Amino acid sequence: MSKQEVIISENPETSLTKAIQQIHFDKLFILTDENTYRFCLPLVQGVESLKGVEPILVGAGDTHKTLETLASVWKALGDRGASRHSLLINLGGGMVTDLGGFAASTFKRGIPYINIPTTLLAMVDASVGGKTGINFNGLKNEVGVFAPAQSVIIDTEFLKSLDKENLCSGYAEMLKHGLISTEKHWAELLDFDFNRPDYTMLQTLVAQSVQIKENIVEQDPFEKGIRKALNLGHTVGHAFESLALEQKRPRLHGYAVAWGLVCELYFSCIKTNFPKNKLRQTIQFIKDNYGVFIFDCKQYERLYEFMTHDKKNEAGIINFTLLGGIGDIRINQSATKEEIFEMLDFYRESMGC
């Protein structure tokens, strides 16, 4: 898989102009959702190549990351005369970059695309690393391909339009990056104040997060080994997210990951000797900033069933990424159904639900 260019930008129009100039294309298209059309498109509309381009517009939110929406993007590209030499720009959060990347990588067997992530979650996770896809059959990111963008333009100027909840959502992935890297970076992340966000500091933390993810993806682009480190918190987190969607009380992806970290760090304590004091500190940060996902023991079976569909599983065995300590990554760790139920007990007790 080719390596994508990640640009930490201080001027989105200048950065996008340079990125576009590096690509030979016949027609240009831009994909936005209803929110980014209103709040983010004006920040790049001065780019000469975008003048006269009518955006392809999709609904906002993860509930629109579907086969139907994907088909509507394919149709719009076809109806507007896109060829295999056209260029698609995805301007939006993780839903837009996942969906748009998948649309670009499959339309006429693949056209080049550029990601401009506008949420923190998209900047540090969805838009970087070449994963694209849609939700399908009630499961998160069930269908997709590895297909990196030509460029990813990251500018924290877009984050000033986000509410606290969306900042917290993206920050959960950054917290995960801290846990799989160094104690220093993890400690820095625990000091961030969401009530008075320092966007200059956030730009630095975002750049560090992106570098951590890029280093891992470069070692293992197709998730055969160490890239599974990036799934810390996700085996349980995706199960929480799927249950929330099924119960029609959807929660942002990063919140589900944060709650998943509580569970998988507990497993790390009992299975791979992760320090209990680090577990307590991380749980406290999550409780303070993410609240709690409430469920009872009647949902354990359903959560377990969702975990059996996780893409990291092999031969029917549920696999977890755990830690022996901060930065001490242990992939392919399994657990019995009984252990998983005990882990869910721990979550409910420690989070007070």
Structural contact between residues 101 and 132, judged by C-beta atoms closer than 8 angstroms: yes
Is 165 assigned a catalytic role? no
Query: Is the CA virtual torsion 204, 197, 154, 16 positive or negative?
Result: negative
Residue range of the domain that includes 336: 164-351
Summarize the confidence of residues 306-313 as an average pLDDT: 88
pLDDT of residue 205 exceeding 90: yes
Tens-digit pLDDT profile for residues 147-185: 999 999 999 889 988 899 999 999 999 999 999 999 999
In the prediction, which pLDDT does 135 show? Answer: 94
Q: Which of 161, 184, 201 is the last residue of a domain?
A: 161
Shared-domain flag, residues 112 and 188:
no
- Give yes or no: residues 140 and 266 share one domain: no
Q: Which candidate in 65, 131, 177, 228 is catalytic?
A: 131
CATH number at residue 145: 3.40.50.1970
Query: Looking at the structure, do residues 106 and 215 belong to the same domain, yes or no?
Result: no
What pTM, to 2 d.p., does this model score? 0.88
Whether residue 36 is found in the same domain as residue 146: yes
* Tokens encoding 245: 């969607």
Q: Do 174 and 105 belong together in one domain? A: no
Q: Where residue 234 sits, what CATH number does that domain have?
A: 1.20.1090.10
pLDDT band at 126 (very low <50, low <70, confident <90, very high): confident
Q: Which residues make Cβ contacts (< 8 Å) with residue 187, sequence separation at least 6?
A: none
List 330's β-bridge partners, or say none. Answer: 322
Q: Is residue 282 domain-shared with residue 336, that is, in the same domain?
A: yes
Position 27 scores a pLDDT of 97
Per-residue confidence band for 33, with pLDDT thresholds at 50, 70 and 90 = very high
State yes or no: is 188 an active-site residue.
Answer: no
Reply yes or no on whether 177 is catalytic. Answer: no
Amino acid identity at 175 = L
290 vs 168: CA distance, rounded Å: 7
User: Is there a single domain that holds both residue 157 and residue 168?
Assistant: no
Q: Per the residue annotation, which of 35, 173, 176, 185 is the catalytic one?
A: 173
Annotation marks residue 85 as catalytic: no
- Identify whether residues 223 and 144 lie together within a single domain: no
pLDDT band at 1 (very low <50, low <70, confident <90, very high): low
Q: Are residues 326 and 251 in the same domain?
A: yes
Instruction: Give me the catalytic one of 64, 176, 227, 251.
Output: 227
> Among this protein's residues, is 213 annotated catalytic?
yes
- Residues 168 and 138 reside in one and the same domain: no
Active site residue 141: no
Is 302 a catalytic site residue?
no
Q: Is 183 designated active site?
A: no
